[in-house]
Amino acid sequence: MSNVILKTSDGGTTTLASEVLAVFRGQLRGALCLPGEPGYDLARTIWNGMIDRRPAAIVRAAGAADVMRAVAFAREHRLLLAIRGGGHNIAGNAVCEGGLMVDLSPMKSVRIDPKSRTARVEPGVTLGEFDREAQAFGLATPTGINSTTGVAGLTLGGGFGWISRKHGLTIDNLLSVDVVTANGKLVHASEKEDADLFWAVRGGGGNFGVATSFEFRLHPVGPEVLAGLIVHPFNKAKELLEGYRRAVAGAPDELTCWVVMRKAPPLPFLPKEVHGKEVLIFALCFAGDLEKGRKAIAPIQALGKPIADVVGPSPFVGWQTAFDPLLTPGARNYWKSHDFVELNDGAIKVMLDHVERLPSPDCEVFIGNLGGAVSRVPAQATAYPHRDVQFVMNVHTRWSDAANDKGCIAWARQLFDAMTPHATGGVYVNFMPEEEAQRVSQGAYGPNYQRLSKLKARYDPDNLFRMNQNIVPAT
């Protein structure tokens, strides 16, 4: 091993002698990977194909002890530090250029306690892995809609999906968490112990330390839910969205219906002539009694004349993977996101105008529906503040050829800008692209930013954890 030059957190560099790195390597249970070594490329490759960064060294952590050692090492040498959970975040902060990366993806343990209906989950676990273990006991906690997403990053930002209207955000079901803070020590945080830290990590992202274990509350779910897609021609999109906002306003908490507008993928249940044409898709899930579900979804099924309606009983674990084929890793991706308390006529018009000129066959506009249990938690009870939000619009711009970067990104930004007058100004931190640092204080955290900034100064005064949507330590 030769000497290694690493980036420091102040933008400079430091040279570490080979002996220093050899000692560090010997102190780890997991691997220390340098460029070219086995595991290095696997660890630095994340979901968004736009991100191609080369850390100077990667710790592939085997447990909390490795994380404690790696954080202390980064602090001792003032290294630029990045933390990877599932590697799904659009901004790509899981990987740093030239610094030290801690890859938590080898930490895969999930332990379900069916008696207390709780789960202990390590930070390398994906949503699909967690669901699989919990559903073996007919249990689940709300997470997201794409099974390859990491539990860690999703939870630390808030976390929502098909059963959040019924059971709340992922953080509303977090009972405790182990965090390695900037001084390299492991802290157990819950409502009773280190309650400030527990408040901050429920929405504050990776700003306060490295989470090495999550304890969740679980709920009986399924194992079958009523779920599926209703696909409509796009020329009726205006009337459909008007009907949608009426239907979801009266929906029970068990029912969640999201909208996807995109060019139709070649799904086997769609006629060939529809493939590649713009469509509006209602994607819905009723997590409760199937008969009650059939009644609850009727107002949505009554809208328009669908091309296909494939809603029916489905295993919850299967439905949790329904969007995976459209969200495979490796493509180029750029996202923009807005929160809404209502979808007004102006917002609908702007979205429809832009869907008519999608810049690639894989781009889509997603409308997620929240409310229900999520809105019954006060805005200041956790760091995530957007409790009154009913709809989240995500512009998922996705393409494969780098030559299309400019056009695709420009389209997303135009749509985002045109939607701004209709939106709350708030944004879910986990949907923010890399360049939105100016939205963190007001947009992502609003009324909670000041408290977060003070806690950042207490737990991470030197901003060691800065590769994230960064909360600046209060001075």
Ligand X SMILES: Cc1cc2nc3c(=O)[nH]c(=O)nc-3n(C[C@H](O)[C@H](O)[C@H](O)COP(=O)(O)OP(=O)(O)OC[C@H]3O[C@@H](n4cnc5c(N)ncnc54)[C@H](O)[C@@H]3O)c2cc1C
Q: Which positions lie near ligand X, rule CB under 6 A? A: 46-47, 83-90, 93-94, 104, 123, 144-146, 149-150, 152-154, 156-157, 159-161, 205-206, 210-211, 327, 430, 467-468
Shortest Å distance, C-beta 152 to ligand X = 3
Burial of 20 (0-12, 13-18, 19+ CB in 10 A): middle
| Nearest CB to ligand X, comparing residues 161 and 288 | 161
Closest contact distance (angstroms) between CB of 123 and ligand X is 4
Give the position of tokens 């979808």: 343
Between CA 157 and CA 430 the distance in angstroms is 6
C-beta of 207 vs 314, nearer to ligand X: 207
Burial string for 298-327 (b: 16+ CB within 10 Å, else e) reads: ebbeebbebbbbebeebebbbbbbbbeebb
If the CB atoms of residues 118 and 468 are measured against ligand X, the closer one turns out to be 468
Angle (CA) 368-373-444 rounded to 5° is 55
DSSP code string of 147-213: TTSBHHHHHHH----TTHHHH--SGGGEEEEEEE-TTS-EEEEESSSSHHHHHHHTTSGGGG-EEEE
In angstroms, what is the minimal distance from the CB of 424 to ligand X? 17
- The CB-of-329 to ligand X minimum distance in angstroms stands at 9
Q: Strands 100-103 and 81-84, how do they pair?
A: parallel
Please identify, using beta-carbon distances, which residue of 206 and 293 lies nearer to ligand X. 206
Q: Nearest approach, Cβ of 155 to ligand X (angstroms)?
A: 8
Q: Which is nearer to ligand X, 145 or 308 (CB)?
A: 145
Shortest Cβ distance from residue 253 to ligand X (Å)? 17
Q: How far is the CB of 22 from ligand X (least distance, A)?
A: 27
Distance CA 95, CA 51 (A): 8
Shortest reach from residue 17's CB to ligand X, in Å:
29
**DSSP letter assigned to residue 126:** B
Residue 331 Cβ vs ligand X, minimum distance, rounded to whole Å? 10
DSSP state at residue 79? B
Q: Residue 202's closest CA among 437, 441, 377?
A: 377
CA distance 214 to 152: 8
Q: Which residues of 420-449 are buried (b: 16+ CB within 10 A; e: fewer)?
A: eebbbebbbbbbbbeebeebbbebbbbebb
Residue nearest to ligand X (CB): 153
Nearer to ligand X, 274 or 423 (CB): 423
Place of tokens 């689940």: 140
Residue 109 vs 301, nearer CB to ligand X = 109
- Between 134 and 327, name the residue whose CB sits nearer to ligand X: 327
Alpha-carbon distance of 122 to 119, in angstroms, equals: 10
- E strand map for 265-325: 278-286, 308-309, 312-315
| Burial zone of 192 (CB within 10 Å; 0-12 exposed, 13-18 middle, 19+ buried) | exposed
- Quote the least distance from Cβ 337 to ligand X, whole Å: 10
Q: Which is nearer to ligand X, 48 or 314 (CB)?
A: 48
* Backbone φ/ψ region at 333: left (φ over 0), alpha (ψ -120 to 50), beta: beta
Cα distance between residue 405 and residue 47, in whole Å: 17
Q: Of 274 and 382, which CB lies nearer to ligand X in the complex structure?
A: 382
Nearer to ligand X, 234 or 459 (CB): 459
Work out how close the CB of 64 gets to ligand X at its nearest, in angstroms, rounded to a whole number: 11
